[in-house]
Amino acid sequence: MIEAHDLGVTFPNGTEALKGINVKIDDGEFVAVIGLSGAGKSTFLRTLNGLVKPTQGAVRVGGVDVGRLSGRSLQRFRRTVGFIFQQFNLVTRLTALDNVLHGRLGYLPTWRGLLGLYGERDYALARTYLEEVGLADKQHVRVDALSGGQQQRVAIARAMAQEPQLVLADEPMASLDPRLSDVILGLLKDYNEAHGVTVLVNIHVLELARRYARRVLAFNQGRLVFDGPVEELTDELAEQIYAGSLEAL
């Protein structure tokens, strides 16, 4: 379960990225986070795994106050949260399998991690999820030899290999061919349904959010302006959320 209480983030340069967010998300939900660019979607997702610290209020994930974690305990928490980036953030000189195995680093003693001494189970998990994203035959291919869509699938497998309680995806299709959006979102949706893991996806394109998510969170200028089932997101509301920007509709 995710609970945010009066969550606020102000960056050192004074930008108020999030203001007074109150939200509760149950385990196993598939939630779309929408809003204009700069609305605070990424910042919201990043507070959930501690990449950004709240400057006000608090956010709890699975009962843990994320903002208070640091050092070893933060690492232990983070290994249970998969994060999928818009730019994939893979180590492109390594193979697909190596990258998926990185998802297991948080579970290994540091010295074994340094030597790359993963266990049998780590390998088994990595292979399973590579297969699940349809890249079983690419496991020994260097990532820089893969297409953009394949790379993002490797990143998804890396997140799944963490066996997470929560998956956060920050505009995972934004740097891909629009035709691949369904592949990526389909993978996340299937994963959510098969494993019952909570998934939060930032989506810039409203149409896609409508198609995949049952619940939608909408941000505007750092405020949560809509939280509810996708059916309640009327066209007028959407227009307000995307005020002034027609290209997103």
Partner 1 sequence: MTWLFPLLGFLVAALAALSRSSARRYLYAGGIALLVAFFTFPFSSAIGYLSREAVYPTPAGLLPSWAPLGLIALAGLLAVLPLAPRLQGLLGTIGGVVVLLVSYSWLAQPVFLAKIVPLPGLTEAAIAFLAGGLLFLMLRERSLALALVVGLVVAGGSFTLLNGPVGHTYFPRLEGYYKLIRPLPAEESEHLIREYNQGLAKTNALREEIGLKLLKPIESLADLEGGVPKDLAAEGVRLVRPSSLRYGTTAVLFLAGLLLASSLFLMRNPELVEAGDRVSGLTAAAVFLILVPSFYATEFSLGRLVEGWPFFVNFLDRSWPPNLADPAHNIFPLQEVASQMALTVEIALVGTFLAMLFAIPSSFLAARNLTRGSAFTRTVFTLTRAFYNIDRGIDTLILALIFVAAVGLGPFAGVLAMAIHSIADLGKLYSEAIENVERGPIEALEAVGASGTNVVRWAILPQVLPLFVAYTLYRFEINFRVSIVLGFVGAGGIGFFIQNAMASGQYDQMIIGIIAIVIVVNLIDFGSSWLRSKLV
Q: Which residues bind ligand ADP (CB under 6 A)?
A: 11, 13, 15, 17, 35, 37-43
Q: How far is the CB of 118 from partner 1 (least distance, A)?
A: 12
Closest CA to 10 of 2, 22, 19, 21: 19
State the Cα–Cα distance between residues 201 and 188, nearest whole angstrom. Answer: 9
C-alpha distances (whole Å) from 16 to each of 33, 149, 228, 230 are 18, 33, 24, 27
Residues belonging to the chain? 249
Q: Verify binding: residue 179, partner 1, rule CB under 8 A.
A: no
Residue 1 or 94 with smaller CB distance to partner 1? 94
Instruction: Check if the beta carbon of residue 168 is closer than 8 Å to that of residue 83.
Output: yes
By CB under 8 A, is residue 138 in contact with partner 1? Answer: no
Write out the binding residues for partner 1, residues 185-224 only, by CB under 8 A: none
Two tokens at 5? Answer: 């209480």
Q: Taking CB under 5 A as the criterion, which residues in 22-51 touch Mg ion?
A: 42
Site for partner 1 in 50-69 (CB under 8 A): 51
Pick from 103, 132, 199, 208 the residue near partner 1 by CB under 8 A.
103
Task: Decide: is 76 part of the binding site for partner 1 (CB under 8 A).
Answer: yes
Q: Does 150 bind Mg ion (CB under 5 A)?
A: no
35 binds, among ligand ADP, Mg ion, partner 1, none (CB under 5 to 8 A by kind): ligand ADP
Which residues bind to partner 1, rule: CB under 8 A? 49, 51, 74-83, 85, 87-91, 93-94, 102-103, 105-106, 110, 113-114, 155, 158, 162
Which residues bind to Mg ion, rule: CB under 5 A? 42
